[in-house]
Amino acid sequence: MTDPTDPGTLPEGTKEKLVRTKERWAEEGRLLTGTTADPERDRLPPGQRLVTDWPVLDLGIQPEVTEAAARLDIDGLVENPLSLSWAELQALPQETRHNDIHCVTQWSRYDNDWRGLSVTDLLARARPKAEAAFVTMESHDGYTTNLPLADLDRPENLLATHWEGHRITRQHGGPLRLVVPHLYLWKSPKWIRRITLIAQDRPGFWEVRGYHDRGDPWLEQRYSE
Ligand SMILES: Nc1nc2c(c(=O)[nH]1)N[C@H]1C(S)=C(S)[C@@H](COP(=O)(O)O)O[C@H]1N2
Ligand SMILES: [Mo]
């Protein structure tokens, strides 16, 4: 069996220098303030800086996913595996969310308006089995990330198709990206393709490269210990 914590080789086309730099940040504990904050009282998490533009961060591969090719699978430990085409996703109720987003590279952006599909509704349709405790998520660029199922199954999360009234651009992960606003943004996969429910945690791309398994910005969970 292969070791799930072995980073292995990088996907073809990855910006290797960027990956190495971010690995070094994790080793050095860069940006750590050693403080925590209370989301009820403070809007900006510790060590973050506010921006008004929307930076682009990814591995350097920005796949062109047409609506014809877009598909979302929810599989693994579920009673009712789903494989939804773009048309099927569009036929579901379209919801809105308003939130702040926080990237581990220090920027935060307030007041983002999103439209898309409720994550809790889709999970309810898929009917998680009792032993499902985590998810691993895969994207069209080869990126992966993981979450406890409880962090995915929250009402504020959205499978977003629109931002500020426009379709999400290819750069930002369109046509479909996840938004999990209570965690650092590397937990929000762009160009999402699959969500697999699993019993044991399986670290993703950044989680095997020194980044925290959960990534709560209020607790400054930037890096693994
Ligand atoms: N598929 C995919 N999703 C991804 C990434 C990626 O490289 N590939 N990068 C993550 C990281 S590190 C961040 S900070 C956010 C950035 O999203 P943005 O480019 O829309 O700001 O996407 C996350 N989701
Ligand atoms: Mo990031």
**What integer pLDDT is reported at residue 3 of this predicted model?**
62
In the chain, the amino acid numbered 157 is N
Smallest CA-to-CA distance from 195 within 88, 63, 75 is with 75
**Strand, coil or helix: 138:** strand
**What integer pLDDT is reported at residue 44 of this predicted model?**
97
Ligand 2 center from residue 57 Cα (angstroms)? 6
Residue-wise pLDDT tens digits, 83-140: 999 999 999 999 999 999 999 999 999 999 999 999 999 999 999 999 999 999 999 9
Check if the beta carbon of residue 104 is closer than 8 Å to that of residue 185.
yes
3-state secondary structure 73-125: EEEECECCCEEEEHHHHHCCCCEEEEEEEECCCCEEEEEEEEEEEEHHHHHHH
**What integer pLDDT is reported at residue 200 of this predicted model?**
98
**What integer pLDDT is reported at residue 158 of this predicted model?**
99
Residue-wise pLDDT tens digits, 63-76: 999 999 999 999 99
User: Which residue of 52, 57, 108, 178 sits with most ligand 1 atoms within 8 Å of its CB, as the best mutation to test the pocket?
Assistant: 57
Domains in the chain, ordered, with CATH?
16-219 (3.90.420.10)
**What integer pLDDT is reported at residue 5 of this predicted model?**
63
Atom of ligand 1 nearest to the CA of 57: 19
**What integer pLDDT is reported at residue 7 of this predicted model?**
73
Tokens of 11: 């996907």
**What integer pLDDT is reported at residue 8 of this predicted model?**
73
Task: For ligand 1, atom 19, name the residue with the nearest CA.
Answer: 56
Phi, psi dihedral angles at 224 (to 5 degrees): -75, 160
pTM for this model (two decimals): 0.96
Residue-wise pLDDT tens digits, 150-173: 999 999 999 999 999 999 999 999
pLDDT mean across residues, the chain = 96
CA atoms of 43 and 108, how far apart (whole Å) = 10
Ligand 2 center from residue 119 Cα (angstroms)? 21
**What integer pLDDT is reported at residue 10 of this predicted model?**
83
Ligand 2 center from residue 38 Cα (angstroms)? 22
Ligand 2 center from residue 105 Cα (angstroms)? 6
